[in-house]
Amino acid sequence: MEKVIRGAFGGDVIVVFLNGDSGDVTQVDNASPYARVSGEPDTLKVGGRVGAEAVKVLVGIQAPMRSPEAAIDYRDAVLKIPRRKPSAERSKKCRALVEKGRPKDAAGINDWIWAKEIVMLNALIKQEPVRDVEVQTIQVGPAVFITSPAEYFCEFGLQEKKASKFPFTWPVSLANACMGYVPTSEAFSPSGGGYETRLTAYSNLIPDAGNQIRDKGIELANSMKPGPVKKPKPAPPFTGGWRYGSVPPELD
């Protein structure tokens, strides 16, 4: 991404990257009929496309819309959100499985890994049953950045944009800490599921955590006043199209 942007504007350009809400997004096209080539090709595909899109936006901004001055403001809040607790029966079974030692077969290793996660989670719950979840909003003129310290699902970002009174609202995930995946209520419903909702030492906040983070972000954003959006000078009244060399069709 940085190479593409600097290739367009020069090597001394400062590139700041803020990760959007992407807890349920992947660069992998699982529907592709072709074998996936991972590693560097993935890096080039994602970074190159993001960089190219940034260049498209930047070159489309007319000079009168740019300004060296902008209103700067900031809000911050720390939510107290509990972890999800595995049942006593599940915890007992997982500890017994882990204490048997790591198996050698693939299926056994898979079960052992997830059991280990529950054992680790129980240790974390003893140390910190309730987590400090920081939410920030940072204003730059007519734009506001709403942060979450998690792999936050995209739907939350769309809801923040819809509820924000700012003309430009940018969700930022994985800011200041990482609470693991924070899925939507739908993902936790019977129609949801997946590895993001699985209970592990990495992802374990209560199902309502995402809603709490969203609501606090919207509250903080709307407590600030958006700056004005600069617009280009209006065009003169339209008096016709391009006239240079304009004549009726010449057939002879």
pLDDT at 35: 86
pLDDT at 166: 98
Q: What is the mean pLDDT of residues 63-68?
A: 79
Nearest to 97, CA basis, from 13, 74, 107: 107
Side chain identity at residue 64, one-letter code: P
Q: What is the mean pLDDT of residues 101-120?
A: 94
Residues 6 or more apart in contact with residue 79 via CB below 8 angstroms: 132, 133, 134, 135, 212, 213, 216
Burial of residue 55 (number of CB atoms within 10 Å: 0-12, 13-18, 19+): middle
Please determine, for residue 148, whether its predicted confidence score (pLDDT) is greater than 90. Answer: yes
Residues 6 or more apart in contact with residue 45 via CB below 8 angstroms: 27
pLDDT at 67: 81
Distances (CA, A) of 158 to 96, 206, 213: 43, 21, 13
pLDDT at 160: 98
The model carries a pTM of 0.90
Please determine, for residue 213, whether its predicted confidence score (pLDDT) is greater than 90. Answer: yes
Q: Residue with structure tokens 């700067």?
A: 72
Cα–Cα distance, 121 to 182 (Å, whole number): 16
Where residue 64 falls among pLDDT bands split at 50, 70, 90? Answer: confident
Helices (H), the chain: 2-9, 40-59, 88-99, 106-127, 154-163, 209-221
Please determine, for residue 77, whether its predicted confidence score (pLDDT) is greater than 90. Answer: yes
pLDDT at 230: 87
SS3 27: coil
Q: What is the mean pLDDT of residues 26-44?
A: 85
Q: What is the mean pLDDT of residues 213-233?
A: 94
Q: What is the mean pLDDT of residues 54-83?
A: 91
Where residue 242 falls among pLDDT bands split at 50, 70, 90? Answer: confident
